Amino acid sequence: MALKEIIEQTVAGLGYDLVETERSAAGLLRITIDLPWLPPAEGATGADQFVTVEDCEKVTRQLLFALEVDGIDYKRLEVSSPGIDRPLRHEKDFERFVGHEIDVTLKAPIGVAAAGQVNATRKKFRGTLERVQGNDGVAGWQIVWSDAPAVKPGQKVSKKRLPAPVQALGFTLDELKEARLAPIVSFKGRGASRVADGGTESNLD
């Protein structure tokens, strides 16, 4: 059985979602897990829950057994929760983080400049994730952003300064090379926004 299949089956069997699998040349096997998410329409409360150290330890123990049974060679296993730059891979990931700021990298440049404001060779964008309804009735995705410079604390903004135009980029998941939550630091607590930490983890050699 392939390594990723072993990990996916083990993690899912314990009731978690597999977010990411990384294997380094030094023998480190890094697994990122998360708690399953359900949209509010399916009975979810809407409040985010977070992976704990106990969750990571439980998955670590089961993975150690599963990897040993299948004879997988590695030197160190690390199981952790997603950090502030959590990858978005599946449709439910995007549904979950509507309204959040994300970074996307396209597989190919946009090709056509948007109203002369976006370089046609550009592939990387940061903006607020939105769900949109297309003219054909099919729901899709877009990010919305403004290139206005950030206002520093205490800085006065001239009332005469024209606001930077709001721009939008529509995309499908097939067009993406990578998508992640923008690593924005906040010290207002989990209830307000994502906290500035690297996630919870469990390590075993």
**Average confidence (pLDDT) over 180-187:** 79
On whether the CB atoms of residues 139 and 94 are closer than 8 A, the answer is no
On whether the CB atoms of residues 94 and 176 are closer than 8 A, the answer is no
pTM: 0.76
Please tell me which residue, 134 or 6, carries the higher pLDDT value.
Answer: 6
Q: What is the CA radius of gyration of the chain?
A: 20
141: closest CA among 184, 83, 88?
A: 88
pLDDT at 1: 72
Indicate the domain borders of the chain: 3-84+185-204, 91-181
DSSP 143-160: EEEE-PPPPPTT----TT
CATH no., domain 91-181: 2.30.30
Distance between CA atoms of 47 and 202, rounded to whole angstroms?
24
What pLDDT, in 10s, does the model give residues 105-137?
999 987 665 555 677 788 999 999 999 987 777
pLDDT at 134: 72
Q: Which two tokens stand for residue 157?
A: 């903004």
